[in-house]
């Protein structure tokens, strides 16, 4: 545990991370101001939901997260000596993976902290579905006139549970992104190119959403925004298990590929 803590502190103590976070904070504040300007009644949970809408998540925060991972993954000659503290390559790899998971959690919680700080004094603290939510989701508050996904969802779970589930899937999404970058870089050994490849994978996933058949169901988007689930899956809560399995299978597959690659290759460091 001490090794993980020391490794995390070493990776995150960089002024560059503050530089990356500053425009993200400003963008988040712009989301908050935009929400306040809406005519529909809204509450603090709408801000927690809005922060992870399609554009903020997949364009802004995704890029910000990858830039942070890019920064903490710098392999300077210092790490040649630092890694001597570990028993073997597997231990180094596992600690790097755990560090990625912790960074994903911290990054997601930080975005939520922005929302809490902005909304605590200005938005109602109501754990109720608002007019604003129904407006942006294209639903209606008359649950007896429509049985679409929005209506079923709002009867089955509260906004706080919705936010908790979205945050869980966002953490797993960020973790997968970080792991993809880390593993791809172990093959390419080119930080910048590895970053571009992960961004390309994200772009391809967004393209999947426009296709027909089963392909959209395999996209990152579909497995974060569960409101697009079939009505029967929402009604019996199976959408939760399906998405956890989706992320677990992807993450475990990439983890195994990276572990095998790490054990079979030598470390390369920058001068």
21 within 8 A of 64, measured Cβ to Cβ: yes
* 3-state SS class at 128: coil
| DSSP for 71-86, written as a single string | HHT--BTHHHHHGGGS
Total Cβ atoms within 10 A of residue 63: 15
For residue 130, CA distances in Å to 15, 39, 41, 140, 250 come to 40, 12, 6, 11, 35
- Any domain includes 91: yes
**Position 106 in a domain:** yes
Indicate whether 2 pLDDT > 80. no
- State pLDDT tens for residues 215-226: 878 889 889 998
Residue 159: inside a domain: yes
Alpha carbons within 13 A on the beta-carbon side of 53: 14
pLDDT tens-digit profile of 37-65?
Answer: 987 889 999 999 999 999 999 999 999 99
Exposure b/e, 111-126, CB count within 10 A at least 16 = b? bbebbeebbeeebeee
pLDDT at 88: 73
C-alpha count within 13 angstroms, C-beta hemisphere, residue 237: 6
Instruction: Say if 269 falls within a structural domain.
Output: no
Mean pLDDT over the full length of the chain: 85
Residue 143 structural domain: 2-264
Burial-class residue 207 by CB neighbours within 10 Å (0-12, 13-18, 19+): exposed
pLDDT band at 205 (very low <50, low <70, confident <90, very high): confident
Domain count along the chain:
1
Q: Which tens digits make up the pLDDT trace of 6-38?
A: 656 666 667 788 899 999 999 999 999 999 998
Tell which wins on pLDDT, 146 or 221.
Answer: 221
Give 92's pLDDT tier (boundaries 50, 70, 90): confident
pLDDT digits (tens, 9 = 90+) for 66-85: 999 998 876 654 455 455 56
pLDDT of residue 137: 80
DSSP result, 191-221:
HHHHHHHHHHHHHHHHHHTTS-TTGGGGSTT
**Residue 125 domain-assigned?**
yes
The span from the CA of 31 to the CA of 37, in Å, is 10
Q: Token match 């390559």: residue?
A: 89
In a domain, 34, yes or no: yes
- Lowest-pLDDT choice from 12-16, 115-119, 236-240: 12-16
Euclidean distance between CA atoms 240 and 138, whole angstroms: 22
DSSP for 31-56?
Answer: HHHHHHT-SS---HHHHHHHTTSHHI
Those residues with Cβ within 8 angstroms of residue 151's Cβ, 6 or more apart along the chain or in another chain: 139, 140, 143
Would you say residue 107 lies in a domain?
A: yes
pLDDT of residue 117 exceeding 60: yes
- Contact assessment for residue 186 and residue 262, using Cβ atoms and an 8 Å cutoff: yes
Position 119 in a domain: yes
Mean pLDDT across 146-165: 86
């Amino acid at each position: 545990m001490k090794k993980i803590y020391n490794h995390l502190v070493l990776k995150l103590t960089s002024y560059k991370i503050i530089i990356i976070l500053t425009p993200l904070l400003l963008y988040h504040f712009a989301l908050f101001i935009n929400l306040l300007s809406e005519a529909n009644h809204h509450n603090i949970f709408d801000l927690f939901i809005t922060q992870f809408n399609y554009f903020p998540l997949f364009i802004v925060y995704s890029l910000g997260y990858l830039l942070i991972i890019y920064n903490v993954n710098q392999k300077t000659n210092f790490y040649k000596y630092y890694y001597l503290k570990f028993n073997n390559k597997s231990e180094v790899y596992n600690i790097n993976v755990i560090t990625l998971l912790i960074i994903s959690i911290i990054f997601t919680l930080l975005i939520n902290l922005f929302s809490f700080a902005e909304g605590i004094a200005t938005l109602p603290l109501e754990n109720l579905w608002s007019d604003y939510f129904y407006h942006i989701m294209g639903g209606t508050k008359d649950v007896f006139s429509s049985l679409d996904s929005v209506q079923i969802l709002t009867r089955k779970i509260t906004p706080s549970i919705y936010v908790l589930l979205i945050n869980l899937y966002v953490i797993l999404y960020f973790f997968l992104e970080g792991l993809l970058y880390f593993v791809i870089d172990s093959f390419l050994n080119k930080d910048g190119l590895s970053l571009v490849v992960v961004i390309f994978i994200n772009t391809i996933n967004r393209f999947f959403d426009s296709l027909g058949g089963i392909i959209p169901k395999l996209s990152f988007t579909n497995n974060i925004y569960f409101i697009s689930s079939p009505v029967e899956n929402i009604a019996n809560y199976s959408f939760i298990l399906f998405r956890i399995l989706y992320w677990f299978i992807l993450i475990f597959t990439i983890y195994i590929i990276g572990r095998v690659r790490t054990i079979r290759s030598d470390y390369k460091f920058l001068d």
